[in-house]
């Protein structure tokens, strides 16, 4: 959004040849200029408010906004905290009150993509869903929200960033990642990804800024969405997954070219890009190039140490089911379908049912983690690269 700047001067009515010249006293000139300046400011404010679709308010704190007629929108918030941790939940208010130079604006959360909090500058930058952005000061010093831990009210000095996702009632929230594919917003971890035709493809390139490698903070291309989201509870996902193999341009540890593995994690209550950070809490359906597969779950899994790999540990982990006999197709890919409703987990590969169980331990809480909710993650083992196609997710 362009900055609105006060004009350097206020122009008088036309003085071109043939126009009648008006003599205006200095006092009247000043009054006329002030009136025109006031009119310009009014029009500028009105244009900005119309652009944002928001109203001016005079009260401090969070102000409520109405939802669009005929649609009830659900807003989820992801808070990146200053200490590196994350909170996911539902805001208990529907708008942010933002103080700018000329007014206090009531900004509906449904129109915000992200709010970056600049502690040193003592301001915030609000980026809207349509790509516009504005800078100001939040009039409230806290952000109340409902989380899996209960109602919490973190103060702004503890928050670096708030990211919002919006969905219609009855639909799964799309998430807040930068890549939209299959009506879901994905966040790429560890390596780069790009959309190529009808596929979302992992690239043989390390994500800038990530300490990749066996002696770093992790390996394997990964896509994540809706980590810890309470609205992702009973759902189905369906997609084709390709395990292409190892590209020599990205093979720092000398894997054979035909090495293939990957997996689908679901009910991802928590997970981290660095395998050295505590938090790996989800179910995982893992497949190997030889056709074997395993369904398991873990709570607060991590690799000990600040960097590098060694045997992983967790507060708890267990195998739910396992088997053999899958026919991995590295060219056409394999069709995977998951359905999780209550404690029932069903998985199909290429149309064949391979898992249909009820995990009565799903509701147990271990180490503060409960695996009865959360989005999904799709990953490729070590330096195996691959793709997904025809992805869909449905709330059940």
| pLDDT for position 167 | 75
Which of 168, 192, 211 is at the close of a domain? Answer: 168
Q: How many CB atoms are closer than 10 A to CB 225?
A: 26
DSSP element (H, E) containing 40 = helix 26-52
The better pLDDT of the pair 74, 329 is held by: 329
Q: Are both 201 and 164 inside the same structural domain?
A: no
Look at residue 55 and tell me if it is in a domain.
no
Whether residue 375 has pLDDT greater than 90:
yes
378: domain CATH number is: 2.60.120.560
Rg (CA), the chain: 26
| Higher pLDDT pick, 113 / 200 | 200
| Domain identity same for 160 and 190 | no
- Structural domain boundaries, residue 376: 179-395
Q: What is the pLDDT of residue 58?
A: 31
pLDDT score recorded for residue 23 = 31
Write the pLDDT tens digit of every residue in 242-301.
999 999 999 999 999 999 999 999 999 999 999 999 999 999 999 999 999 999 999 999
Of 220, 217, 210, 205, the closest CA to residue 382 belongs to: 220
pLDDT band of 71, cuts 50, 70, 90: low
Average pLDDT score, the chain: 84
- 363 and 282 within one domain: yes
Whether residue 113 lies inside any domain: the answer is yes
3-state helix, strand, coil in the chain (%, to 5): 10, 45, 45
Q: What is the pLDDT of residues 27-62, one digit of tens each?
A: 444 444 444 444 444 444 444 444 444 444 332 223
* Pair 155, 193 in one domain: no
**Measured distance CA(41)–CA(356) in Å, rounded:** 65
Segment 123-157, tens digit of pLDDT: 999 999 888 899 999 999 999 999 888 999 999 99
Claim to verify: residue 85 and residue 192 sit in the same structural domain: no
Shared domain check, 382 and 303: yes
The number of domains in the chain is 2
Asked if residue 385 has pLDDT above 80, the reply is yes
> Between residues 6 and 48, which one has the greater pLDDT?
48
Does residue 135 sit in the same domain as residue 279? no
Assign residue 245 a region: left if phi > 0, alpha if psi is -120 to 50, beta otherwise? Answer: left
Note whether 161 and 183 are same-domain residues: no
Bridge partners, residue 79, by sequence:
87, 162
Instruction: Single out the residue in 168, 195, 210 at which a domain terminates.
Output: 168
């Amino acid at each position: 959004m362009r900055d609105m700047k006060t004009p350097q001067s206020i122009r008088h009515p036309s003085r071109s040849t043939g126009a009648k010249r008006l003599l205006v006293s200095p006092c009247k000139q000043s009054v006329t200029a002030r009136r025109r300046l006031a009119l310009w400011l009014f029009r500028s404010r009105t244009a900005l408010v119309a652009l944002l679709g928001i109203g001016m308010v005079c009260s401090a704190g969070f102000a409520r906004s109405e939802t669009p007629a005929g649609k009830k929108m659900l807003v989820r918030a992801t808070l990146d905290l200053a200490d590196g941790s994350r909170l996911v939940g539902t805001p208990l208010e529907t708008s942010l009150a933002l103080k700018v130079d000329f007014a206090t604006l009531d900004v509906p959360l449904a129109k915000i993509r992200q709010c970056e909090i600049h502690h040193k500058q003592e301001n915030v930058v609000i980026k809207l869903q349509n790509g516009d952005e504005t800078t100001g000061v939040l009039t409230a010093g806290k952000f109340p929200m409902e989380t899996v831990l209960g109602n919490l009210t973190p103060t702004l000095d503890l928050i670096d960033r708030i990211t919002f996702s919006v969905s219609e009632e009855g639909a799964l929230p799309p998430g807040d990642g930068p890549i939209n594919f299959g009506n879901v917003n994905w966040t790429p971890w560890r390596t780069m990804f790009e959309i190529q035709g009808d596929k979302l493809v992992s690239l043989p390139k390390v994500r800038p800024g990530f300490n990749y490698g066996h002696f770093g903070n992790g390996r394997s291309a990964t896509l994540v969405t809706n980590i810890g989201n309470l609205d992702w509870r009973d759902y189905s996902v369906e997609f084709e997954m390709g395990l292409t193999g190892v590209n020599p341009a990205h093979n720092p540890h000398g894997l054979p070219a035909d090495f293939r593995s990957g997996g689908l994690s679901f009910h991802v209550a928590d997970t981290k890009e660095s395998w050295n950070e505590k938090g790996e809490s989800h179910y995982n359906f893992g497949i190997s190039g030889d056709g074997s597969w395993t369904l398991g779950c873990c709570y607060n899994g991590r690799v000990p140490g600040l960097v590098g790999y060694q045997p992983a540990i967790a507060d708890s982990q267990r195998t739910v089911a396992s088997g053999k006999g899958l026919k991995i197709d590295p060219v056409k890919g394999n069709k995977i379908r998951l359905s999780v409703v209550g404690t029932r987990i069903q998985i199909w590969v290429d149309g064949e049912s391979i898992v249909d169980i009820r995990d009565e331990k799903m509701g147990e809480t271990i180490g503060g983690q409960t695996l009865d909710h959360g989005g999904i993650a799709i990953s490729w083992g070590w330096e195996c690269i691959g793709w997904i196609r025809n992805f869909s997710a449905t709330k059940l």
